[in-house]
Amino acid sequence: MKRLKKPLLVIMLAVLLSVTSAFVFNAAATSDKASETKQSPEFTVHIDDGENDPEDIVYNFYLEEESEDIGSAQDYVNDYENNITYDPDFKEHQKEALGLVRGSIKSYATIWSLLPAVMAIVLALITKEVYSSLFLGILTGGLIYSGFNLETTMTHVFSDGFVSSVADSYNVGILIFLVLLGAIVAMMNKSGGSAAFGRWTSKHIKSRVGAQLATILLGVLIFVDDYFNCLTVGSVMRPVTDKSKISRAKLSYLIDATAAPICIIAPISSWAAAVVGFAKGSGAQDGMSLFINAIPFNFYALLTIAMMIFLALAKFDYGPMRKHEENAKNGDIFTSKMQEATELLTENEKGKVFDLIIPVIVLIIACVFGMIYSGGFFASDSSSYMNFISSFSGSDASVGLVYGSFIALIFSAVYFLIRRTISFKTIMECIPEGFKAMVPAIMILVCAWTLKAMTDSLGAKIFIAQLVEGSASGFMSFLPAIIFIIAVGLSFATGTSWGTFGILIPIVLSVFGAENGNITIVAISACMAGAVCGDHCSPISDTTIMASAGAQCDHINHVSTQMPYALTVAAVSFVSYIIAGFVPVWYISLPIALALMIGTLFVIKLISNKKYQEN
């Protein structure tokens, strides 16, 4: 009974907050009606991003019937990124559209739109139960959206939430990729390849430092996509880190810290393509040049890499991670119930090191091939025909990764049959085994996507965007640091970096101007760094979930041990952006940032060691 008291208390508090917020929404609605603005006539927004054909979008906020050709107030608000760039009367139209939307969704684009995500995250960290916490956050979002109408809540949560999230083609592609990769990993395990690789590395990597540096290096090399990075690095390095007695929590941190932070500073990656697209669509003449120039100012990503190397070389950990690492040295690499669900490596005497290396190499090549194929590399009528950079930038990661993992699955099956390490029956058994291994990650992903749908329907992104606009006047030199903090909050609450880019980059370019020199570059880098930082910290981020799955680590263990490390880098990055706001020159601000990071870690090490000795 005592074990139930804390979760029940938290749930009661959550319900109380939700009920209290209902009265606030009603009050807000009353004040909105009192401040109605004049009705705008029908108007047109001309969109021309320089790449696609120009488009004229007609809006009429007061049509009695919906029209496919004419946008409504909700449509106008949803297309925030384009309208802030291309509508000369944006502020007037946005205010009017928001007022109309709030007539039906009272809490739209207010601070209450963040409540579902905040509640889910806080509950997950307190109760250590991720599924129930996410569902309560989703339910809260549905209640707020419906104004506490039970029927509308059920429809919104399940039809607009779970069903729509699972039916989304991009999301389905990611789920299929997870299952296929799980099957490949199961084959490598059954063939004895993973165990053989573990034995080989124990002869060549003789220290915990070497195992950590090898994990970091592999993570840096696989920079094309964060999903692919997390699952591939985890599959390859688990036998290595297990042999070196490195905790699964530390492995998941190393995987996560070399996923998004590496992708965001790699010009050839799915993340770079997303940023370039958002920048060019917002008036920047050359999105790729802007991205490359912003790399030295991406303090969070660069300092995260520096921190990982320092922690490995200094043989130092702090916070909850220290306990996990101490337990790992004593033989317990899990420090949790995850051990029971983790598959032991199969001791197949026929297994060789190449039974792991060859399928992984084929997987990498096939996934790159799949991504450029989806980007039009082989399509003669495409503008990206035979252009690797262009086709990679325009690729669909979910489709490309499915193609690549399917090719790798077929190759692996044929390869292991030829090698006669496992039978055809065993290969077929690996497919459902791989599916079962990925079920926890799939469940968390679906819940996280649904929670994001709830916060999107409540206008959380619009609320954050208005905060940035409100901070623009009078704080120009401090604005990069402010943008960084806001991007961290938005990405943390919604669990998505790309959504944060999409909403903040157009605002940053509209505030600073697309051609405003170094300060614009610093502000864009702050937006990217903050988005990655929030994504790195958030328990509902798909990258964080993938890192847990790749390391086969309990998700809450991963989040709670990684949080102090991510927040340390975030604090140093915030100070660095204040400096860069006044000195927007990378060869001055970056060395200062690195010195601050190393100095901070030395201080933490001294304090941590002193406390450890006292205890």
Q: DSSP class of residue 332?
A: -
Candidate from 43-57, 391-405, 442-456 with smallest mean pLDDT: 43-57
- Kindly report the CA angle at 345 between 340 and 347, in degrees rounded to 5? 135
Is the CB of residue 482 less than 8 Å from the CB of residue 509? no
Tokens for 230? 């997390």
- CA–CA separation, 44 vs 580, rounded Å? 39
Confidence of residue 31 (pLDDT cuts 50, 70, 90): very low
Q: Once rounded to an integer, what is the mean pLDDT over residues 238-246?
A: 88
Contacts of 501 (CB under 8 A, 6+ apart): 274, 275, 278, 527, 528, 531
Q: Once rounded to an integer, what is the mean pLDDT over residues 90-116?
A: 88
Is the CB of residue 479 less than 8 Å from the CB of residue 128? no
**What is the rounded radius of gyration, in angstroms, for the C-alpha atoms of the chain?**
25
User: Does residue 170 lie within any of the structural domains?
Assistant: no
- Amino acid (one-letter) located at 111: I
Is the CB of residue 506 less than 8 Å from the CB of residue 79? no
Q: What is the mean pLDDT of the chain?
A: 83
Contacts of 481 (CB under 8 A, 6+ apart): 526, 574, 575, 577, 578, 581
Candidate from 65-74, 509-518, 520-529, 599-608 with smallest mean pLDDT: 509-518
Query: Tens digit of pLDDT for each residue in 334-370?
Result: 876 544 444 445 556 788 888 888 998 898 889 889 9
Q: Is a pLDDT exceeding 80 seen at residue 253?
A: yes
DSSP one-letter string for 524-581: HHHHHHHHHHHHHH-TT-HHHHHHHHHHT--HHHHHHHHHHHHHHHHHHHHHHHHHHH
- CA–CA separation, 350 vs 192, rounded Å? 7
H/E segment holding residue 47 = strand 43-47
E-strand stretches of 73-225 = none
Is the CB of residue 427 less than 8 Å from the CB of residue 413? yes
Q: Is a pLDDT exceeding 60 seen at residue 521?
A: yes
Report the SS3 class of residue 2: helix
- CA–CA separation, 469 vs 485, rounded Å? 14
User: Does residue 610 lie within any of the structural domains?
Assistant: yes
Q: Select from 80, 79, 60 the least CA-distant residue to 69.
A: 60
Of 219-233, 241-255, 452-466, give the range with the top mean pLDDT. 241-255
Q: Once rounded to an integer, what is the mean pLDDT over residues 261-286?
A: 72
- CA–CA separation, 271 vs 81, rounded Å? 18
Q: In what order do the strands lie in the sheet with 55-59?
A: 43-47, 55-59, 70-71
Q: Report the pLDDT value the prediction gives residue 515, as an integer from 0 to 100.
A: 56
Neighbours of 199 (CB within 10 A): 16
- Residue 513: which domain range? 455-614
Q: Is a pLDDT exceeding 70 seen at residue 597?
A: yes
Q: Report the pLDDT value the prediction gives residue 129, as an integer from 0 to 100.
A: 80
Query: Tens digit of pLDDT for each residue in 482-513?
Result: 889 989 988 888 787 877 877 788 778 777 76
User: Does residue 521 lie within any of the structural domains?
Assistant: yes
Q: Once rounded to an integer, what is the mean pLDDT over residues 210-220?
A: 91
Q: Report the pLDDT value the prediction gives residue 341, as an integer from 0 to 100.
A: 42
User: Does residue 577 lie within any of the structural domains?
Assistant: yes
Neighbours of 423 (CB within 10 A): 12
User: Does residue 507 lie within any of the structural domains?
Assistant: yes
Report the SS3 class of residue 140: helix
Confidence of residue 30 (pLDDT cuts 50, 70, 90): very low
Of 447-461, 559-573, 601-615, give the range with the top mean pLDDT. 559-573
- CA–CA separation, 274 vs 168, rounded Å? 19
Q: How many distinct helices (H) and strands (E) make up the chain?
A: 30, 3
User: Does residue 522 lie within any of the structural domains?
Assistant: yes
Q: Report the pLDDT value the prediction gives residue 29, as an integer from 0 to 100.
A: 45
Q: Is a pLDDT exceeding 60 seen at residue 611?
A: yes
Q: Structure pTM?
A: 0.78
Q: Once rounded to an integer, what is the mean pLDDT over residues 130-155?
A: 91
Q: How large a percentage of the chain has pLDDT more than 70?
A: 85
- The count of domains in the chain is 1
Give the sign of the dihedral formed by CA 589, CA 595, CA 598, CA 599: negative
Is the CB of residue 497 less than 8 Å from the CB of residue 534? yes
User: Does residue 250 lie within any of the structural domains?
Assistant: no
Q: Select from 50, 507, 88 the least CA-distant residue to 280.
A: 50
Query: Tens digit of pLDDT for each residue in 46-65?
Result: 776 656 667 888 898 887 77
Q: Report the pLDDT value the prediction gives residue 18, as an integer from 0 to 100.
A: 55
Q: Report the pLDDT value the prediction gives residue 285, as an integer from 0 to 100.
A: 57
User: Does residue 341 lie within any of the structural domains?
Assistant: no
Tokens for 476? 């120009």
Confidence of residue 577 (pLDDT cuts 50, 70, 90): very high
Q: Is a pLDDT exceeding 50 seen at residue 1?
A: no
E-strand stretches of 160-215 = none
Backbone angles phi, psi at 23, to 5 degrees: -65, -35
Confidence of residue 35 (pLDDT cuts 50, 70, 90): very low
Backbone angles phi, psi at 318, to 5 degrees: -145, 170
H/E segment holding residue 419 = helix 397-419
Tokens for 131? 């599924």
